Amino acid sequence: MRILIREVLSEELQKLRPDMAPVASRGTEEVVSIRSSSDLNAFAQKLLGMAQDGRIRADIMEGRHRFCLSQGGVMPVMAHQPMAPAANAPGMAQFTKGMVTERDVAALPQGTRSIKAGTAVRFTPLARDEMRRRGIKVERTTA
C-alpha cells in the first residue's frame, strides 16, 4: 500500500514540478527458499548482515526491498516443535528449560508418572491440566 501511495504521490508531484527528478520505482524483491531450520538460520544471518548497511536497512523497513518465499518445493514449517524430554528412569521425563505446553505433555510416553523440571521451566495452564488428568507429578530440580 505504501508503495502504491508513493507512486501516486510521485506522479502528481512530477506533474506539479516537472524539473523534479523521478522517485525510484517499486524497489527489489528477493526470493527466499526456507526448507529447514538451517535455511532459516542462514537467512537470519544474511538479513543481519544486510541490516549493517543503513541504506539497505532503510529499504527493507520502508518496503522497497521485500522478501518472498519461493513457490517450488515449499515444505511446511511447524510453528511449535515439542521439546524432547530426556528420560532418566522409566515413567520419568525431564525438562531443563523453556515453556512446557500441552503438546509437550501429550507427547510423553504412556506410563510417565513424574517430570523433573529445572527452575527455569514454566508450564502453561493447559499443560498443568493435562498433567493433572494423567496423574503426572512435577519435581523441581536446582540445575
For residues 98 and 123, the answer to whether their CB atoms sit within 8 Å is no
- pLDDT higher for 87 or 109? 109
Give mean pLDDT, residues 81-89. 48
Q: Is residue 12 part of a domain?
A: no
Q: Are residues 105 and 72 in the same domain?
A: no
Q: Are residues 100 and 125 in the same domain?
A: yes
Q: Is residue 134 part of a domain?
A: yes
| Residue 21 exposure: Cα atoms within 13 Å on the Cβ side | 3
Q: Are residues 33 and 68 in the same domain?
A: yes
Per the structure, the complete domain to which residue 69 belongs is given by: 27-77
Amino acid 76: pLDDT: 47
Of 9-13, 24-28, 33-37, 126-130, highest mean pLDDT: 126-130
In whole angstroms, what is the distance from residue 104 CA to residue 84 CA? 8
Q: Is residue 9 part of a domain?
A: no
Q: Are residues 72 and 112 in the same domain?
A: no
Q: Are residues 99 and 136 in the same domain?
A: yes
Give mean pLDDT, residues 53-79. 73
Q: Are residues 64 and 101 in the same domain?
A: no
Q: Are residues 66 and 38 in the same domain?
A: yes
Widest CA span in the chain = 80
The H or E element containing residue 69 is strand 65-69
Domain total of the chain: 2
The mean pLDDT value of the chain amounts to: 78
Q: How confident is the model at residue 18 (pLDDT cuts 50, 70, 90)?
A: low
Give mean pLDDT, residues 62-76. 71
Q: Is residue 46 part of a domain?
A: yes
Contacting residues for 127 by C-beta, under 8 A, at least 6 apart: 100, 101, 102, 104, 105
Amino acid 109: pLDDT: 86
Cut 0.85: pTM above it: no
Q: Are residues 68 and 99 in the same domain?
A: no
Q: Is residue 87 part of a domain?
A: no
Q: Are residues 73 and 101 in the same domain?
A: no
Q: Are residues 100 and 73 in the same domain?
A: no
Amino acid 127: pLDDT: 93
Cell numbers 513424574: residue:
114
The identity of residue 129, as a single letter, is D
Q: Are residues 34 and 57 in the same domain?
A: yes
Q: What is the pLDDT of residues 99-128, one digit of tens each?
A: 999 988 888 888 889 999 988 899 999 999
Of 2-11, 18-27, 127-136, highest mean pLDDT: 127-136
Phi–psi pair at 93, nearest 5 degrees: -130, 160
